[in-house]
Amino acid sequence: MGKWFCIAPMVLLAAGCSKTNPPAPAAQAGPAPLVAAQAASGADPEPVERSPEPAPGVRAITIPSGTPLHVRVDESIGTRRNRAGDRFDATLSEPIEVNGRTMVPAGTVFSGHVITSRASGRLRGRAALGLKLDSFRLNGRDYRVETTSVDRVSAAHKKRNGLLIGGGAGLGAAIGAIAGGPAGALIGAGAGAGAGTAGAAATGKRQVAIRAETPLRFTLRSSVEM
């Protein structure tokens, strides 16, 4: 009996300890191997790559190739003072519309350049002037354009030279006839023709010019996205 009395208190004490001290909770799972390795090396964890959010934008509208561009040049342009490569400005006189919607309003300023500038020869050839549009600016943004050219060519020399030379010959013949009869008329005709040719050569160089505010029509050769 004495032995049992000694064992009983020890059993009760062990049972009490088990009730007051619950088992320690299981250790939580550590970080993923990659993150743990980065943390151990002191490096910042790499950000998780995400798919880009769709940008909320307005659907692009295209001005198609073949659209006419009606403009008025802001300054006079001519073969007398302009050379190929010179810049010029022009103002849109009619709005550009796509499916009933105005894409480029009238008054928009376009920029262009001279592609050809050539005076005629004194007795032959024609003067030529060619222009193209390159871009326009709208709402703070520049848009490139590829357009057809507008070309101007002078009249031919042939008729004018004939009038000058023939007129000079007739005048010379008349003066020669008065001075010396038929022989004088022949001499005078030759002299007059020579004088007429010299006059045609001296004054025959032709020029081409487009005055300020002249309406011009270009055409888009490629589409423009707005």
Using CB atoms within 10 A of its CB, is residue 135 exposed (0-12), middle (13-18) or buried (19+)? Answer: middle
Domain membership flag for residue 49: no
Q: Which domain holds residue 110?
A: 62-157+207-225
Residues 91 and 178 in one domain: no
Strand 109-118 to strand 128-138: parallel, antiparallel, or no bridges (unpaired)? antiparallel
Is residue 133 a contact partner of residue 211, using CB atoms and an 8 Å limit?
A: no
Q: Are residues 151 and 95 in the same domain?
A: yes
Let me know whether 140 and 183 are in one domain. Answer: no
Average confidence score pLDDT of the chain: 72
Q: What percent of the chain has pLDDT over 90?
A: 46
Domain tally for the chain?
Answer: 2
Q: What is the pLDDT of residues 89-140, one digit of tens each?
A: 999 999 999 999 999 999 999 999 999 999 876 556 789 999 999 999 999 9
**Of 213, 217, 216, 208, nearest in space to 75 by CA:** 213
For 10-69, write each residue's pLDDT tens digit.
544 444 444 445 555 544 444 455 545 555 555 555 554 454 454 555 578 999 999 999
Q: Are 93 and 85 in contact (CB under 8 A)?
A: no
Is residue 51 domain-resident? no
On whether both 127 and 168 belong to a single domain, the answer is no
CATH number at residue 114: 2.40.128.260
Beta partners for residue 137, in sequence order: 142
Q: Is 135 helix (H, G, I), strand (E, B) or coil?
A: strand
Residues 212, 120 within the same domain: yes
Residue 157's CB is within 10 A of a number of other CB atoms, namely 20
**Residue 110 placed within a domain:** yes
Q: Is there a single domain that holds both residue 142 and residue 195?
A: no
Q: Judge if 113 and 221 occupy the same domain.
A: yes
- Evaluate whether residue 30 is within a structural domain: no
